[in-house]
Amino acid sequence: MSDLESSLQAALRGESHVVGICGSAGSGKSRLCYEFAERCRRIHIPVIEVRAQPYGKAAPIQPILEVVRLLLGISSGDDPTTARSQVADCLEKLGSPPENALPILCDFLGVAESGPVPAMTPKMRHAALLDIISWLVGGHASNPYVIVMEDLHWLDDASETFLETFWDSIVGSYALMIVNYRPTYQAPWTDREGFHLLELKDLDGVQIDEFISSVIGSHQIWQTYAVESPTGQEATRSLPKRSFIL
């Protein structure tokens, strides 16, 4: 947690970087992100949280769509008319949006009015969309906020391009991006300047026994679960906070 706090302080100085939390299933990646997000909210720093899903490759760019919706202030219950109005309001507040930002964003979000969007080749439209999203992420980054993206090991290929756009707009700004993933995930940007790796090591047998005993004492069923289940360590860490151990 101290590493994340240090990263937040750097972001508050306008010296942000991207933090990657790497660990196997059950190592506590999600719990760490949750606790940090709650700390940020308590000091009134906005947090955007999204998660890639196991079926992510069958439903591409869903995490990216969710980040863009949240940046624009669009909720899941908004109808297309409300969503379009919200996009327009956000663009106006940020000021000086790229050309065709409104129709391209609305088309990307699936809330465009009937009728053609600006005539472009698919390649040109994709490039324009990346520029617009870069402007959107960077525009918000003039004030502190945090983006948490979880389970990148399930991220689809199309989303990776957008993730690099987020990176370019956030590093060196007042915004902080935190991502987590399993060791099997590989991305070229992990070698770039501005990336900070936080590795969560698995506990060995002795450490597991000591940790479990300190949390749940002699509860044999929980001891077995905590050792044998891939999510046991993370679940055990959360028990005292949820008042499940009496």
Sheet strands side by side (includes 195-199): 47-51, 145-150, 175-181, 18-22, 195-199
User: Where along the chain do the CATH 3.40.50.300 domains lie?
Assistant: 2-202
**CA nearest neighbour of 33 among 66, 1, 63:** 1
Q: Which CATH superfamily is domain 2-202 in?
A: P-loop containing nucleotide triphosphate hydrolases (3.40.50.300)
Task: Give the Cβ contact number of residue 58 at 10 Å.
Answer: 9
**Interval 6-56: pLDDT, tens:** 999 999 999 999 999 999 998 999 999 999 999 999 999 999 999 999 987
160 neighbors 122 (Cβ within 8 angstroms): no
Q: Spell out the per-residue pLDDT of the chain, length 246, in tens.
A: 899 999 999 999 999 999 999 999 989 999 999 999 999 999 999 999 999 999 877 788 999 999 999 999 999 899 999 999 999 999 999 999 999 999 999 999 999 986 666 788 999 999 999 999 999 999 999 899 999 999 999 999 999 999 999 999 999 999 999 999 999 998 878 888 899 999 998 755 554 555 456 545 555 655 555 555 555 555 555 555 544 444
